[in-house]
Structure 1
Amino acid sequence: MTETPPRVLTIAGSDSGGGAGIQADLRTLFACGVHGTTAITAVTVQNSLGVSGVSVIPPDVVAAQIETVVEDIGVQAAKTGMLATAEVIAAVAKACDKVHIGRDGDIPFVVDPVAASMHGNPLLRDDAMDALRGELFPRATLVTPNLDEVRLLTGITVRSRDEARDAARALHALGPQWTLVKGGHLYDDPECVDLLYDGETFLELPAARIDTRHTHGGGDTMASSISSALARGLDVPAAVRFGKAFVTRSVAHSYPLGSGVGPVSPLWRLPPIEPER
């Protein structure tokens, strides 16, 4: 037998099209060499053209998944994705406290506040947005919103790198240890610059902007790769650098799927299957 790899828990919704959500998380975790465990928060009915239905998992079932996994298998990092409702968010916060996930516990906690669709439309009701701010952000080691989510969370519309700094300050005031303002939706910027902030110091992480429409699951992939690095013992800046490089390669290897928007692909990390001779 080989040594048990680091474990990462993803608390998120299922994407029936396989491009985002739990499915994107698990394939990213696998590609990063960690064992992925799950707490499913919702089941979506979706394909490459969009979401046509959502069934929310009862909050007590979500909490039970978290507690059962951590108490037996253990995790070295945890992350969130789509949390659907205020009731689910409250249950996640309580369960994470119970098993020491979060900035005041032993387990790093990456909160990817999935609050907007790929078109920028809100995915959460106002009470769920309030729960994100009040319940999860103060527990987070790192939050990773895109610019649409920044606007919904803070009211700040980011149009420049300077405004991204204002947004990072506003997000940090909500309680996370670190904030990462992702610049992928700042389309007028020739680079894709993400901004990491710890309340004192800003760190800009630039990368080439890749010309592709197939970016489904990019946020999930980045948060999962960062969580993988944290589970392996990297500190937050090093883990974010790894995640930035990982998602940039994944966007570069994105592929068409169905008739709509295809997914980013972490499969570049894996060797192709060669026929036996």
Structure 2
Amino acid sequence: MNSFPQTLTLAGTDSGGGAGIMADLKTMEARHVFGTAVVVAVTAQNTLGVQKSLMLPIDMINAQCASLAADFQIKACKTGMLGDKEHVLAVANNLRQYDFGPLTVDPVMVAKGGAILLEEDAIKTMITELFPLATILTPNLLEAEKIVGQTIDTPSDFKRAAQMMQQMGAKNIVIKGGHKVGEKVQDYVLLANGHEQWLSAPRIDTKRTHGTGDTLSACITAELAKGHSIIQALQIAKNYISQAIAQTIQVGHGHGPLNHWAGQELS
């Protein structure tokens, strides 16, 4: 009873289906875990951008968390779009109250189309309230620069930035290098035990990368729920992302979504 691996995403929706909670649940399904969700925000969004967003009342977020905790045995969770400082704090308070397993924090700040998904004054709240709860922190290059207040360019810059984020309370850091120019996409990993590693994959020339960060963090969450180590989860997630980008699907007119069922035979 209740033994199947169960996961949770606390984030915003994407009505276009490519990012946010929609991408998280698709990824969790593809990775063979049962996904649940706490909706923090609702967006009117497509591959061209975010046209409108609405933050849900705090008491509704609290009610969703309480409902899940009363019934499910969640083995791992992740955060995505949290919007503003009040909602960051509400999510952090619930994560302290309930045991939803290891936490992956994806510090979502800006959408592919440029829409701001985390207000400026919420960044400090995320650092002080969520980072100490995070098992894994997964900023992209631009988010990492915003968090540490420094340009990140060289390998030593990546290491210094990751160390700074560890000092802020996060245990294990993955700085995603997709925004850096080069033939390969290289992500820098620094674990709590001091182990460092680069995860590398060929760069694919495509605009169909909407939801990449959400998908990566959701895959990490799924693999942790299945009992994999952090390094195993990261390697599986990196490979899954590479396949999801390479095996493209044609959807929308802008930054198209990933192929979340990549690697699976279709009938």
TM-score normalized by structure 1? 0.91
Provide Cα deviations, 1:134-191, integer angstroms capped at 9, x if missing partner.
Answer: 110010000000011112211122223332112111211110110100111111x321
Letter in 1 for 2:82: L
Contact 1:8–1:36, Cα closer than 8 Å, also in 2: yes
Q: Deviations over 1:5-47 (max 9, x none)?
A: 2000000100000010011001100000000000001100111
Aligned to 2:189: 196
In structure 2, the residue matched to 1:104 is none
Q: Following TM superposition, where does structure 1 have runs of at least 4 consecutive aligned residues deviating by more than 4 angstroms?
A: 119-122
Shift of 1:51: 0.4
CA distance 1:144–1:120, change in 2 (3 Å): farther
Counterpart for residue 160 of structure 2: 166
Q: Distance in 1 between matches of 2:141 and 2:133?
A: 21
CA displacement, residues 75-112 of structure 1 (integer Å, 9 cap, x when unaligned)? 000001101111111111111111124xxxxx110000
CA distance, structure 2, for counterparts of residue 121 and residue 26 of structure 1: 22
State the SS of the aligned residue for 2:38. Answer: strand
Structural mapping, 1:92-107, within 5 Å: 92-101=91-100, 107=101
Name the structure 2 match of 1:9: 8
Unaligned 5+ segments in structure 2 are: none
State the partner residue of 1:42: 41
Give the secondary structure class of the aligned counterpart of 2:261: helix
Counterpart of 1:151 in 2: which secondary structure?
Answer: helix
- SS at 1:8 equivalent: strand
Q: What stretches of structure 1 of length at least 5 have no aligned partner?
A: 102-106
How far apart are residue 198 of structure 1 and its match?
2.0
Bigger relative contact order (CA 8 A; separation at least 6): 2
2:57 alignment counterpart: 58
Mapped partners of 1:35, 1:29: distance in 2: 7
Q: Structure 1: which amino acid aligns with 2:134?
A: A
The letter for the 1-side match of 2:160 is D
* Identical pairs, percent: 37
2:252 to 258, 264, 269: 258
Q: In the aligned structure 1, how far is the partner of 2:16 from the partner of 2:212?
A: 14
Distance 2:138 2:120 in 1: 19
| Distance of 1:18 and 1:120 partners within structure 2 | 17
Aligned: 1:68 with 2:71: no
Which residue in the other structure is 2:236 paired with? Answer: 242
> Quick one: distance in 2 between partners of 1:258 and 1:231?
32
Please say which of residues 27-36 and 205-214 is displaced more in the overlay: 205-214
The equivalent of 1:85 in structure 2 is: 84
State the distance in 1 between where 2:114 and 2:160 align. 20
Cα separation, 2, equivalents of 1:249 and 1:270: 10
